[in-house]
Amino acid sequence: MKASFFKRILAFIVDYFIVAVFLSIITISFSTDKSITKSANKLIDNYANGEITIDEYNEQAMKINYNLQKSNIPVNVVTAVLFIGYFIIFAYLNNGQTLGKKLFKIKIVEKDKKPSIKAMILRSLFIYGIISSLYSAICINLLSVEYFSYGSSIIGYIESLFIVVSFFMILYKKDGRGLHDLIGNTNVIEEVK
């Protein structure tokens, strides 16, 4: 029997909270360059006071974000590893269940069996922000400010659209499968014991 929409959403929230706590604990010692924060605050003040135009603001904000992403490479790497480890590997090793899914007694299946690692990877790439974390960690040193920023924006829009479409598919489709379930050829069902 398909898992209810509310159980899936609650499990998703619990899992995100767990990962966020671990991510915070791991990355708390990583420091952000204070000059980037000062530059961002000054830019906001300059725009708020009418000292620069919106075009100047956007151009400078793009450079500040680029520098921020460059200084956050370790955070992006840890984020990608943690999300892959939890949502793909941990769930795969636990028969399609994360801690949130265990709590709400639901699980991921592929053709009514334990999901393959391939299915877990395919269903997880866009829904958990893994693509954007990997993109930021890998492409920050390969692309110019403009290309990196445009690529980051496009990936962010695609991931957001993917989540919204999946949300509505889970809510309204009879089989309760989201876009990520279709791509991974998976279902989320009630755990039967």
Q: Specify the pLDDT at position 30.
A: 82
**What is the distance of C-alpha 122 from the center of its chain?**
14
Q: Specify the pLDDT at position 33.
A: 76
Q: Specify the pLDDT at position 37.
A: 87
| DSSP letters for 7-54 | HHHHHHHHHHHHHHHHHHHHHTT----HHHHHHHHHHHHHHHTTSS-H
Number of domains in the chain: 1
The residue segments making up the domain with residue 80 are: 5-30+72-190
Q: Is residue 44 part of a domain?
A: no
Counting as low any pLDDT under 70, the low residues of the chain are 193
Say how many residues make up the chain: 193
Q: Is residue 65 part of a domain?
A: no
Q: Specify the pLDDT at position 90.
A: 97
Q: Which residues contact 4 (CB under 8 A, 6 or more apart)?
A: 176, 190
Q: Is residue 43 part of a domain?
A: no
Q: Specify the pLDDT at position 126.
A: 85
Q: Specify the pLDDT at position 93.
A: 97
Q: Specify the pLDDT at position 117.
A: 96
Q: Specify the pLDDT at position 149.
A: 93
Q: Which residues contact 12 (CB under 8 A, 6 or more apart)?
A: 100
Q: Counting beta carbons within 10 angstroms of the beta carbon of residue 8, is it exposed (0 to 12), middle (13 to 18) or buried (19 or more)?
A: buried
Q: Specify the pLDDT at position 29.
A: 84
